[in-house]
Amino acid sequence: MPFVHPEKGPYARRLALIVAAVSMVAPFSIDAYLPSFPDIQRDLGVSAAAMQQTLSFYLLAFAVGTLVHGPLSDKFGRRPVILSGLGLYVLCSAASALVADFSTLLLLRIGQGLTASAGLVVGRAVVRDAFGGAEAQRVMSRVMLIFALAPAVAPIVGGILQEVSGWRSVFWFLTAMGAVVWLLAWRNLPETLAPEARRSIRPVNVTRAYRRAFFHPGFMAVVLCFTFAFAGMFLYVVGAPRLVFVHLGLGAADFAYVFVPMVSGVMLGSWLSGQLAQRLGAVRTVNAGFIVMTVAALLNAGSLQLWPPTVIGVVTPVSLYATGMALALPAMLVVALDYFPRNRGTAAAVQSFMQTTGNALVAGLGVPLLGGTALIMAFGQLGFALVGLAIWWGWRRFAAIAAP
């Protein structure tokens, strides 16, 4: 499909939907199989700690994949990288439904992570190619608004499939979903990177571009803010099996009690971010988001010091935190990608790499260390929020000094 600028072409109204769809593959691959953890453990004869590593390995592979897909999309265009990634994802998902041992499942989860990362990281570059300034923040917030449905719907669908057909049906569902999204992208996704804007992927140039990004203090400060803010919510996503089964005493069909309010908060925050983009601007929107996150985390930790954990007592402040996070994240993405207007694919790759590496650490280390009680989880969320806020304050001071 030739280059078509979405603001002027027939794809303008559908761009946010398409980018959200290709991005949703990644969170579905995390959340849909969470209710199946006990069943997979029994069927493949592994421990709960081993099952947790299927998340960690997926996320680490996802992080590596972002570093590959970003430069490839800067060289060959956004569309071919997304389509090839989705196609390989479908194959890995189908194979996962057929595995007979845990080692093969772990290997295929790595494959899913490497391939699912294409849609998420390149999709962000697509939005930034097509739109600028407050409009980019509005479109990014629309993408997040639709994208936020995934963590709410995925565990519900996964729980139903688990109850009806067992854990393998979850991976068949991921296979079918990947195929449908591939078809949607093939028919509707425009190529937003004009041929004259494409960049070389010679190793020396790629290395130089990554070095500039990783060692740029302003860019990395914003990326770390994003990473810590998201980690505060992601702790409750990957820790959901322990929260639901152990701390709240619920079952596989009850994940909706946690995820629906949390994702409703994400959707509300995303909508507010789009509404406030022109009025507040990116920096003040992020300020407001961090205020909401910090207050929510303090309420979560404070209430659990006074009362035992309940669904309402835990989920309400966590959902409020999700609202603040979603209010801030679209603006942070725009600020970060604006540092490298000629290498947005590479910049988006670095941002996704840092976020996903943080997510992998939360899954592999954060949940085992912070998941012992609901109170410790709450303090973990508060810690992530405060670190992100401190870095944001530092970035604002740096930006003020660096401004002409």
pLDDT one-digit tens code per residue, 210-228:
899 999 999 999 999 999 9
Within a domain: 391: yes
Residue 198 in this model has a pLDDT that exceeds 60: yes
pLDDT given for residue 402 in this prediction: 52
Within a domain: 1: no
Within a domain: 6: no
Q: How many domains does the chain have?
A: 1
Within a domain: 224: yes
Query: What domain range includes position 231?
Result: 12-402
HSE of 110 in the Cβ direction (CA atoms, 13 Å)?
7
Within a domain: 2: no
Residue 115 in this model has a pLDDT that exceeds 70: yes
Mean pLDDT, range 57-81, rounded to an integer: 90
Mean pLDDT, range 279-288, rounded to an integer: 93
Tens-digit pLDDT profile for residues 139-169? 777 787 777 778 778 988 998 999 999 999 9
Within a domain: 213: yes
Please, what's the b/e burial string for 325-352 (b: 16 or more CB within 10 A of its CB; e: otherwise)?
Answer: bbbbbbbbbbbbbbbbeebbbbbbbbbb
Within a domain: 201: yes
CA torsion, ordered 148, 23, 332, 9, to nearest 10 deg? -110
Rounded to 5°, angle at Cα 119 from 240 and 334:
90
Q: What is the CATH number of the domain that holds 186?
A: 1.20.1250.20
| Nearest to 284, CA basis, from 295, 273, 296, 269 | 273
Residue 6 in this model has a pLDDT that exceeds 70: no
Write down the mean pLDDT value for the chain: 89
Among 102-111, 236-245, 391-400, which is the least confidently predicted range? Answer: 391-400
Residue 3 in this model has a pLDDT that exceeds 80: no
Can you give the C-alpha Rg of the chain in angstroms? 20
**Contact yes or no for 324/46 (Cβ under 8 A):** no
10 — pLDDT class (breaks 50, 70, 90): very low
CA dist., res. 190 & res. 9, Å (int) = 9
Tens-digit pLDDT profile for residues 328-345? 998 998 899 889 888 777
Q: pLDDT over 90 for what percent of the chain?
A: 57
Give Cα 311 distance to the centre of its chain.
24
Within a domain: 85: yes
CA dist., res. 9 & res. 335, Å (int) = 26
CA dist., res. 98 & res. 92, Å (int) = 10
Residue 53 in this model has a pLDDT that exceeds 80: yes
